[in-house]
Amino acid sequence: MRESRTLRWARPVVLGLFALFTVLPLYVMAVSSIKPLKDVQGRFTWLPTHVTFRPFVDMWRTVPLGRYFVNSLVVSVSATACSVAIAILAGYAVSRYRFAGRGTFLTTVLSTQMFPGILFLLPLFLIFVNVEKYTGIRLYGSRTGLTITYLTFALPFSIWLIAGYFDTIPRELDEAARVDGAGPLRTLLRVVLPVAAPGVVAVAIYAFMTAWGEVLFASVLTDDSTRTLAVGLRGYATQANVYWNQVMAASLVISLPVVVGFLALQRFLVHGLTAGAVKS
Amino acid sequence: MARTVTAPGSAPARTPGRPSPRPRRRVKALPYVLLLPALVAELAIHIIPMLVGAWMSLLHLTQFFIRNWTQAPYGGLSNYRIAVNARGPVGKDLLQSFLVTLAITAVVVGCSWLFGTVAAVLLQRPFPGRGALRTLFLIPYALPVFTAVITWRFMFQRDTGMVNALLSDELKVTHGHPFWLLGDRGFAAVVIIAVWRMWPFAFLTVTAGLQGIPGDLYEAAAIDGAGSFGVFRRVTLPLLRPVNRVLLLVLFLWTFNDFNVAYILFDQPPAAADMISIHIYNASFITWNFGLGSAMSVLLLVFLMVVTLGYLGVGRLRSRHA
């Protein structure tokens, strides 16, 4: 296919503009995190007057960022672990068995993904409050309640992704294990799962990202002692006098592990996510 | 093998006179056992709360009944009547928020789709730096939403932000330093951020869709003398239709339901950026009238379902006639 001259000329310009649009906030975040306070309190400058790493030290003292970090980490890791385990079981059932209700299950689970969160929020809040009233189990304002909530958020796509990954693993492997006398669960754990390890890691990263970035439910279902980063950082940025250099430093630290994890596994994740979206 | 054994209603399983029914029942029940944890979780956090929400919308569930909501008086459809009455203050604000959300969504979906498609097509041919650009374009999608929006919040600050420094001090596009986070410019601020976050997903999906188009189709079109744009219009676009159909729906639902951008960007969103999710959220938690809030949520769900089913239905009809 020959390329018109306009296209050859337009490509670098258009792609350059997209790149600029994408990079600007990332640049602002990075450069502001190494600025002294007076730089972010005056007119914006593209470079710091002098480079300082103080914001990365001070940010832990201005707000209880460490506590938010621990809360986010505990909730996200537990939610990830649970949802990966549940998704592996469900994904195996969906991939290896044809049973009545299979289609209904998949459609229902996937469609909950598309419902507005606000729809579940009010009833869930009420249910949590009342569960505590009648059983004494503390869900509202606890990390347990948030963990249970988050594990279901990643579940639909996780099941979808992992079932898709299991589909690529030949059934002959299962059958060989069966012939050797292994039951279905042992087959799954000892034979299929090790082969599916990259898929499991990708699902785990996806689940972690979902929990790590969630805002709406965290803003209602947590209290002062269980605040996650998502709510804590917003609280920080809505104060009258904001230390923007510290907020940017904190944002950088919060974002980096997730972005690195995503990019490291982008090939697989991207394939799974787009396939999930396109096929559904 | 496992498939034939467990297929529901398969002939051998029904043959009478064959002993050992236990293991067979176990095999049949197994997929359900494997699904059980997922089902329980979905029921507990999604399905049951949704039903409870529908019930709540029929109650006069105000702050006095949060802890004993079963005693809240039944109100029938009165919450719905308040919500849809465009002449009352509540209904008027809800309608306004709905229209604003619709407008924001239209612009965001259009721009995200356009940017994503253009970038995907321009990156179709290998050239040095292609991989790096692809990775770069993915970053907004990978970034936790709250850190991204907080950064934009900083950029949109009137006196210390990057946007005003760039637009009025350096490029001289705007006069003086306008407020971005108050008043009507809030609309633009939300749109810019939403597009920034959303277009990488369109880019990803279209890129995946392009990989499914066989290369000889392009060659055939080129032999027929089609230019780049002709090839795009006659080969690429029609073949991307199934991908675009789902992509547009997903973009629509995500943008329309979005809570995060407006919540993190503003202390209190201006009327021009009052996205429906945050409107319902504020209406519920400021007045603690959960009955009314639930009625609004149910209305939102009904709207989304009608749009989704209608959209998918029209698409199916069209593809049958095509």
CB contact under 8 A, B150 and A1: no
Helix, strand, coil distribution of chain B in percent, nearest 5: 75, 0, 25
- The dihedrals phi and psi of A189, each to the nearest 5 degrees, come to -75, -40
Chain B positions touching A127 (Cβ under 8 A) are 48-49, 52
Q: Report the residue from B31, B159, B284 with minimal CB separation from A93.
A: B31
Q: Does B306 touch chain A (CB under 8 A)?
A: no
Domain count, chain A: 1
pTM, full prediction? 0.87
CB contact under 8 A, A43 and B169: yes
- The dihedrals phi and psi of B59, each to the nearest 5 degrees, come to -110, 155
A183 pLDDT above the threshold of 90: no
Q: What is the mean pLDDT of residues A9-32?
A: 94
Chain A positions touching B35 (Cβ under 8 A) are 89-90, 93-94, 105
User: Closest approach of chain B CAs to the CA of A25, in angstroms?
Assistant: 6
C-alpha span between B8 and A98 (Å, rounded): 7
Does the residue A37 lie in any domain? no
B15 pLDDT above the threshold of 80: no
CA angle A115, A22, B120 (to 5 degrees): 75
User: Which residue do the tokens 């906030």 mark?
Assistant: A25
Q: How confident is the model at residue B63 (pLDDT cuts 50, 70, 90)?
A: confident
Q: Report the residue from A149, A248, A262 with minimal CB separation from B142.
A: A262
CB contact under 8 A, B304 and A2: no
CB contact under 8 A, B257 and A117: yes
C-alpha span between A186 and B278 (Å, rounded): 47
Chain A positions touching B241 (Cβ under 8 A) are none
Nearest chain A residue (CA) to B216: A1
Does the residue A13 lie in any domain? no
Q: What is the CATH number of domain B101-273?
A: 1.10.3720.10
Chain A positions touching B135 (Cβ under 8 A) are 263, 266
Q: What is the mean pLDDT of residues A113-131?
A: 86
CB contact under 8 A, A118 and B138: no
Q: Find the range with the poorest average confidence among A248-262, B69-83, B143-157.
A: B69-83
Nearest chain B residue (CA) to A96: B3
Q: Does B105 touch chain A (CB under 8 A)?
A: no
CB pairs under 8 A between A and B: 297
Q: What is the mean pLDDT of residues A111-130?
A: 86
Q: Find the range with the poorest average confidence among A227-231, B7-11, B175-179, B216-220.
A: B7-11
User: Closest approach of chain B CAs to the CA of A3, in angstroms?
Assistant: 6
What CATH number does the domain containing A214 carry? 1.10.3720.10
Q: How confident is the model at residue B318 (pLDDT cuts 50, 70, 90)?
A: confident
Residue B309's CB is within 10 A of a number of other CB atoms, namely 10
What is the model's pLDDT at position A208?
92
* Rounded alpha-carbon distances, angstroms, from residue B273 to B164, B190, B192: 19, 7, 12
Question: Exposed, middle or buried by CB within 10 Å (0-12, 13-18, 19+), for A62?
Answer: middle
Nearest to A123 by CA among B74, B304, B55: B55
Does the residue A44 lie in any domain? no
Q: What count of residues does chain B have?
A: 322
**ipTM of this predicted complex?**
0.88
Nearest chain A residue (CA) to B224: A1
Domain of residue A245 covers: 64-279
Calculate the average pLDDT of chain B: 85
CB contact under 8 A, B143 and A259: yes
Chain B positions touching A241 (Cβ under 8 A) are none
CB contact under 8 A, B52 and A258: no
What is the model's pLDDT at position A168?
85
